[in-house]
Structure 1
Amino acid sequence: MPPSMVFPLPGASVDLAQSDHQQVRIVNMNRRLSGDYQCEVSADAPLFHTDIRSAPLTVVDPPFRAPQITVSHRSYSRGDIIKANCSTDEAYPAPNITWILDEHKIAETVSWRPSELDWRERSAFSQLEVAVLELERYKMGVTYTSSSLNKVYHDHYVYDRDRDKEEKEVLRYTLVPPPSGQFALSCVATIFDIYTRNSEPVLIREDAPHPASVTGEDSSGRVHHASVTLTVAYACLLFNAL
Structure 2
Amino acid sequence: ESKSSMNYVMLEPVSLLSKGVYRCEVSADAPSFQTVHEEHFMHVMVLPRLGPQLTGVLPWYNIGDNLTAKCTVEKSFPQARLSWFVNDVQVWENNQQI
TM-score scaled to structure 2, two decimals?
A: 0.62
State the partner residue of 2:46.
61
Distance change (3 Å), C-alpha of 1:159 and 1:68: closer
Instruction: Report the structure, 1 or 2, having the larger strand content.
Output: 1
1:20 CA drift (Å): 5.6
Counterpart AA for 1:50: T
What's the C-alpha RMSD, in Å, of the aligned pairs?
Answer: 3.5
CA deviation vs aligned residue, 1:98-135 (integer Å, no higher than 9, x gap): xxxxxxxxxxxxx3xxxxxxxxxxxxx433333xxxxx
Q: SS of the residue aligned with 1:86? A: strand
TM-score scaled to structure 1, two decimals?
A: 0.30
Instruction: Report the structure, 1 or 2, having the larger helix content.
Output: 1
Separation in structure 2 between the aligned mates of residue 53 and residue 71 of structure 1, nearest angstrom: 52
Separation in structure 1 between the aligned mates of residue 53 and residue 91 of structure 2, nearest angstrom: 22
Counterpart AA for 1:15: K
Counterpart AA for 1:60: M
1:83 CA drift (Å): 7.5
1:75 CA drift (Å): 4.8
User: Is this contact kept in 2: 1:68–1:87, CA < 8 A?
Assistant: yes
Extract structure 1 runs of 4+ deviating beyond 4 A.
Answer: 82-85
State the partner residue of 2:94.
164
Unaligned runs of 5+ in 1: 1-12, 77-81, 96-110, 112-124, 131-152, 173-242
Q: Percent identity?
A: 26
Higher gyration radius (CA): 1
Separation in structure 1 between the aligned mates of residue 56 and residue 85 of structure 2, nearest angstrom: 9
